[in-house]
Amino acid sequence: MKRVLLGSLLALLIASPAAAFPRWCDGTATNFHIRTNGDAIYQPSWRGGEYVQVCNVSVEWKGVPPDVCLTWIAKIDAAIVFGKRIRLKYNDAPPCEQMPINTNAPGPDYVMLMP
């Protein structure tokens, strides 16, 4: 019985997509904009030309409050202006290059301006 249960569990783990894990996505940022509804969206180098939402300046978005969003915007703007890299940490996300785009992106846990 234990072997059957263990075998079933192993088969389930192998068959499950390895998509949702903590992720650190590093790269440059371009084409940053804020929509009239407050969505803060930019084009990270790690997403192959697609746009990803990072937060919203008007309302809490996926656990990110507007005041935190404003500080993240400053970091992303600084990265663009000074040609620096940024790192975003996601608690539960697919690989960076497969991240859902625009408003479907997961909310980051942090945004870091890299040296």
Q: pLDDT digits over 9-58, tens only? A: 444 444 344 556 899 999 999 999 999 999 999 999 999 999 999 999 99
- Which of 78, 69, 90, 67 shows the shortest CA–CA distance to 114? 78
The pLDDT of residue 21 is: 81
Which token pair is 22? 């903590």
Q: Taking all residues of the chain, what is their mean pLDDT, rounded to a whole number?
A: 87
**64 or 4, greater pLDDT:** 64
Q: Average pLDDT, stretch 57-71?
A: 98
How many Cβ atoms are within 10 Å of 13's Cβ, its own excluded? 9
Residues of the chain with pLDDT > 90, as a percent, come to: 80
> Whole-prediction pTM value?
0.79
- Assign 3 a pLDDT band (cuts: 50, 70, 90): low
**68 or 92, greater pLDDT:** 68
Rg (CA), the chain: 17
